Homo-oligomer: A and B are copies of this chain.
Amino acid sequence: MGLTKSEIFTDEQNQLSTLLKAIAHPARIAILQRIIISNTCICGDLVGELGLAQATISQHLKELKTAGIIQGTIEGVSVCYCINPTTWKLLEAQLGAFLGSYKGETNCC
């Protein structure tokens, strides 16, 4: 085993969990925060600021890209990574609906 049984869940549940998984790492949260702040972010900058090796950061960027959360365009020698607005909005919507469905009524515990 060790393999998530995605076939027994809905597409929405699988999609949301995939997006959340991509964000659920402190390095990737830090990377996204840096991208959002600078709005023109290259990998090299991150290598200096986060305490991770270049290979590791490149790998995290790839995961964010694969999930569709960021997009990269080649900008001369370096690569410019930005937030993918479509996916970001999708995440906000899906997550908002999910988190908002709990109204805080504690009838129970």
A29→B8 contact, CB < 8 A: no
B99→A82 contact, CB < 8 A: no
- Confirm or deny: A85 has a beta carbon within 8 angstroms of a beta carbon on chain B: yes
B83→A51 contact, CB < 8 A: no
**Residues of the B chain whose Cβ atoms lie less than 8 Å from the Cβ of A32:** 98
Closest Cβ of chain B: how far from A36's Cβ, in Å? 5
**Residues of the B chain whose Cβ atoms lie less than 8 Å from the Cβ of A29:** 9, 13, 16-17, 98
Give the top 3 A-B pairs by smallest Cβ distance, nearest first.
A20-B24, A9-B26, A8-B51
Given contacts A17-B24, A39-B105, 5 further A-B contacts (CB under 8 A): A13-B33, A20-B24, A39-B108, A72-B109, A83-B104
